[in-house]
Amino acid sequence: MKKVAIVACGAYMDSGYGCAGEWRCLKAAALGDGQYEEPSHVVGFVKCECPGRTFLPNLGMTMQLSGIKPDVIHLSTCLASAKPECPYTNAEEMAKMIHTKTGIPVVQGTHEYHVTFD
């Protein structure tokens, strides 16, 4: 089973009705749904906070304190597919920063559990 860490958009988590980071990314990881290749252990969950200056050191601290190096790091769907887009950075740039710093592969997105308006 793969070990994964997640970086999610705090601006969405703080105001997105129905998800404060407590279920969609985690359910998809548990089931191997969405952008996870297989059921996965979540070993870290980092909340980005505007303007995005702290997510990278906080991710590093998460890995250091847990003593577990993830196999893969996912940018949450609310971050990778944000509409409107993040005004400070973008998911491609964040993925590049994470990969450069850690050497760990980065996947864009976590789940596909979208709210419908039927």
CB of 96 to ligand SF4, least distance (A): 14
Structure tokens of 1? 């089973």
Residue 109, phi-psi category: left (phi > 0), alpha (psi -120 to 50), beta (remainder): left
Q: Give the footprint of ligand SF4 on this chain (CB under 6 A).
A: 9-11, 48-52, 79, 86, 88-89
Nearer to ligand SF4, 36 or 55 (CB): 55
CB of 10 to ligand SF4, least distance (A): 4
Nearer to ligand SF4, 23 or 88 (CB): 88
Strand-pair partners of 75? 7, 108
Nearer to ligand SF4, 6 or 38 (CB): 6
The Cα 2–Cα 18 span in angstroms is: 27
The Cα 86–Cα 43 span in angstroms is: 25
